Homo-oligomer: A and B are copies of this chain.
């Protein structure tokens, strides 16, 4: 299903998923037959205009959303801004955005930018992940969390946190960047208010693939979009002077949809239509547990940075090591691609879609060799380049 380079064990699909084999032909066909032949008419004749909601439903199935309540577009940063602005508008008498230090920086940065734009009456309160529960109270307007920590893989309990938030009148925003396609998510069961996520990690949509946003039905026709673009207008092609929000999640569309990127994602989602998230999760736990156990036994120099209990972990395993960057570089040179997160974390993502036990064991073998023989301790690995 995927193209993977010969000799590479890829443990960074949680940063950028690999190329699904069907993508190239699907995108080329769209370019030649649709853009090339239909030109402007493609917006209707080829269904480009409805792609953002059509693909939204296919992602919706993976995250337990109601049909018609997920839409694609923009980047995750933009979708965070939209969700947060909407949440603060719903809870406009409260001024606190509660988040945690394990949240991905761009979520926090976008909140800082929005708060500045709103006039600084608001406060971004950032506590440790463990302190979130105790900090949910009646002063909080919005609880904004990433379900799975990008660095450690620690998993928040979406359902119980959302329940407590709602008991205190708090609106919830869940960032599913490291959840969608990695673990089962059930937004309806959790009664989440908003969710956002990206599609270039476990969903394999391609570098910079569009983001998605979910708005719960009870809010969908009420939220007032801060980013009120023409594609979120009730009648985009009437070219009215004033903004009138479209129905439901359609109002969260902003500008002209990125058709080529959406087409890449469309082909990538074909794989997901066949997948059962419970199976994916079961196999992912096996792979993660195997890696974790083997590395702890064979590389005592590394310190586990992820929860040992799979119930508290997403689909990645991270370790701390003072020379994490050099280790990551040495691993790549030996065919194992993991990721580095400053200052001292190496993280490894696992997905049963293109990884099995033998791959995991081979990766451990390489890691043990790199650590035991101090292969990382060479200037070519220790050189600190700009890191992605």
> With A74-B74, A229-B77 as given contacts, are A16 and B39 in contact (CB-CB < 8 Å)?
yes
> With A5-B39, A229-B110, A243-B113 as given contacts, are A254 and B119 in contact (CB-CB < 8 Å)?
no
Distance, CA A211 to CA B257, complexed state (A): 11
Do A41 and B337 have beta carbons less than 8 Å apart?
A: yes
For chain A, give the interface size range: 35 or more
Do A42 and B207 have beta carbons less than 8 Å apart?
A: yes
Do B260 and A230 have beta carbons less than 8 Å apart?
A: no
Asked if A198 lies at the interface with its beta carbon under 8 angstroms from chain B, I say: yes
Do B226 and A75 have beta carbons less than 8 Å apart?
A: no
22 A/B residue pairs, CB under 8 Å, sorted by A: A12-B40, A16-B42, A18-B35, A19-B31, A27-B31, A31-B264, A35-B206, A41-B337, A44-B386, A76-B256, A78-B227, A108-B241, A109-B228, A113-B225, A117-B117, A207-B259, A208-B256, A209-B260, A237-B386, A237-B388, A258-B258, A261-B261
Asked if A15 lies at the interface with its beta carbon under 8 angstroms from chain B, I say: yes
Do A36 and B49 have beta carbons less than 8 Å apart?
A: no
Asked if A339 lies at the interface with its beta carbon under 8 angstroms from chain B, I say: yes
Do A339 and B255 have beta carbons less than 8 Å apart?
A: no
Distance, CA A23 to CA B211, complexed state (A): 24
Do A233 and B105 have beta carbons less than 8 Å apart?
A: yes
State the A residues within 8 Å of B (CB). Answer: 3, 5, 8, 10, 12, 15-16, 18-19, 23-24, 27-28, 31-32, 35-37, 39-44, 48-49, 74-78, 81, 85, 101, 104-106, 108-110, 112-114, 116-119, 126, 151, 198, 200, 206-211, 224-231, 233, 237-243, 254-262, 264, 332, 337, 339, 341-342, 385-388
CB distance from A218 to the nearest CB of B (A): 22
CB distance from A149 to the nearest CB of B (A): 12
Do B41 and A77 have beta carbons less than 8 Å apart?
A: no
Chain B residues near A85 (CB-CB < 8 A): 117
CB distance from A71 to the nearest CB of B (A): 14
Chain B residues near A76 (CB-CB < 8 A): 255-256
Chain B residues near A18 (CB-CB < 8 A): 35-36, 39
Do B36 and A256 have beta carbons less than 8 Å apart?
A: no
Distance, CA A151 to CA B113, complexed state (A): 35
Contacts beyond the supplied A41-B332, A109-B243: 6 A-B pairs with Cβ under 8 Å: A19-B35, A24-B31, A44-B388, A75-B229, A105-B230, A109-B229
